[in-house]
Amino acid sequence: MSAAAELWRSFDGQVVASGNCMHCGACVGLNPHLLEMEQTEVGPLPRLRRSPSPSDIGGLRLAWAVCPGRGVPFPELFRHLGREPECWLLGPYRAIYLGYAADESIRRRAASGGVITALLVHLLETRRAEAALVVRVGLESAERAAAVLARSPEEVIAASQSVYEVVPTLQRLEELSRLDGPVAVVALPEQAAAIRMLQAAGHEGARRIFFVAGPYVGTNMYRGAVRAFLRGHGVGADVRVRSLEWRAGEWPGRLRVELDDGRTLEAPKFHYNYLTPFYLARHTLMTPDFTNELADLSVGDAWRPDLERAGGGHSVVIARSEAAARLLGEMRQAGLLFLEEISAERAIAMHAHMIDFKKRGAFLRLQRQARHGRPVPIYGYRPAAIPVSRRAVERLVGIFVWIGRHRGLLRWLPPGAAGPLFAWIRRAWKAVSKPVKRRGLSATRFLIEPESKRWEEILRAAQDVYEAEP
Ligand SMILES: Cc1cc2nc3c(=O)[nH]c(=O)nc-3n(C[C@H](O)[C@H](O)[C@H](O)COP(=O)(O)OP(=O)(O)OC[C@H]3O[C@@H](n4cnc5c(N)ncnc54)[C@H](O)[C@@H]3O)c2cc1C
């Protein structure tokens, strides 16, 4: 067997078959002639187009080196970016704000405060970016999402709002290498990690990316959730979708699906969450990064009772790089963004539940996976200790996840009742588990692993590719 075929076998076994793929699409973007993404019940997965030949070894080695499904060397990446975190719950930051876009039409259309869209529009208008890689519903078909290179403010605005579907954005890496100018990218945490590893390795396309805007990500869903929602409302598989929005209308927004037969079906954000356990993207249980710690700028919903009452759309915004801090300052001064600085403690309190889910929960879930003898992603740090009470809560999370594996149960859950019921369960669960989930969270100490072999592998991989080229 050739070295390339052997490497693909390891990749397939350790990442794909073991369920550790994070669906970022980087392996396909680096090897478009060899690999393609195939839609499966558990998300898009890389598959061979043909047998690997010896000349594929360079591209495969790079894909293997930067695959977030094997883990992410966070400490080395932070160091490489010159950003050592003071706070491992949030990652490195320069300043944290609450805010929203001044342009009401951007703010109202967006997922939370429209900060990401306003920023991308500004980068295009000031010609600092030639294009922005974003995700948009309705291009391939009215109900499917895909990554697209937006070259005008109109195209960026058309792609605003969150899409709760796993989209392998980085399969478009090759296209980035062909661009003349710099590009801004909206990347989910695992995609941002792959980009940073590729940049460290010297990959040309990744180096075109001069700005990474990163949404916070709690959980994501596999494709199929929308059809399950429609099935629950008695819509047959043959009825076509005319348009789909995940965060339509007043913040926090509603799922709105318009059908070809003239009907429109809607569910408020906290109601359609009943789909999450059944279509939960498994990798979002396994990553400790909620706030998109490797992005230049991270943005989440600003969940705070007074802001929720005020409505309109509010974001929590973390400037991590100098470029992000400068850009926010400039946009604020130009009256394009409203920003109010807040402390890290307030940002943590706003999302303590999800931060705990990732910073302690993910490590407990990984321990369990390792006990079952399955490969686990390695992150280069871990919490020094997790209280027994928190471990007990994780058992209940495990039960929810297990129930969610039985999608057939959805047939028995009429969405009219399931939505409100789920919203109630969610509120009750948050209230009951709050004391345990918050206890000791802020004081959690993290053990940082010494330099890893993985880091050397990343730095060497690109060198191998370029040396292998004739
Ligand atoms: C899957 C997912 C889960 C999230 N979970 C949480 C959470 O638990 N808590 C929280 O506070 N916030 C979460 N967010 C972030 C939140 O929904 C908003 O994206 C964020 O507040 C930015 O708001 P905005 O108004 O500035 O974004 P907008 O101005 O609306 O811009 C959003 C940008 O993100 C791009 N985008 C949308 N979906 C995707 C995607 N799937 N992959 C890549 N790019 C995408 C769009 O193309 C657009 O450019 C999540 C987002 C996503 C996509």
Which of 289, 324, 351 is the last residue before a domain boundary?
351
Residues 299 and 391 in one domain: no
pLDDT of the residue at 182: 97
Say whether pLDDT at 467 is over 70: no
Which of the listed residues 103, 121, 162 should we mutate to test ligand 1's pocket, taking the one with most ligand atoms within 8 A of CB? 162
Say whether pLDDT at 470 is over 50: no
Whether residue 267 has its Cβ less than 6 Å from ligand 1: no
Contacts of 184 (CB under 8 A, 6+ apart): 120, 123, 129, 131, 132, 133, 209, 210, 211, 212, 213
Q: What is the pLDDT of residues 317-331, one digit of tens each?
A: 999 999 999 999 999
Radius of gyration of the chain (CA): 21
For strand 145-150 and strand 315-319, is the pairing parallel, antiparallel, or unpaired?
A: unpaired
For strand 209-215 and strand 297-301, is the pairing parallel, antiparallel, or unpaired?
A: parallel
Whether residue 245 has its Cβ less than 6 Å from ligand 1: no
**For residue 218, which atom of ligand 1 is closest to its CA?**
8
Q: What is the pLDDT of residues 366-409, one digit of tens each?
A: 999 999 999 999 999 999 999 999 999 999 999 989 999 999 88
Residues 86 and 173 in one domain: yes
Nearest to 89 by CA among 367, 392, 449, 353: 353
**CA 124, 129, 132 angle in degrees (round to 5)?**
80
Which of 322, 351, 380 is the last residue before a domain boundary?
351
- Atom 5 of ligand 1 has which residue's CA nearest to it? 217
**For residue 303, which atom of ligand 1 is closest to its CA?**
11
Residues 213 and 292 in one domain: yes
Residues 381 and 411 in one domain: yes
Residues 79 and 123 in one domain: yes
> Ligand 1 center to residue 367 CA distance, Å?
29
Amino acid, res. 396 = L
Residues 121 and 9 in one domain: no
What is the model's pTM?
0.96
Q: And the tokens for 133?
A: 């890689």
Q: What is the pLDDT of residues 247-288, one digit of tens each?
A: 999 999 999 999 999 999 999 999 999 999 999 999 999 999
Q: What is the pLDDT of residues 153-178, one digit of tens each?
A: 999 999 999 999 999 999 999 999 89
**Residue 156 is part of which domain span?**
74-222+281-351
- Atom 2 of ligand 1 has which residue's CA nearest to it? 217
Residues 345 and 375 in one domain: no
C-alpha distances in angstroms, 267 versus 15, 221, 255, 270? Answer: 35, 16, 5, 8
The domain tally of the chain equals 3
Residues 157 and 30 in one domain: no
- Atom 40 of ligand 1 has which residue's CA nearest to it? 163
465 confidence band (pLDDT: 50, 70, 90): low
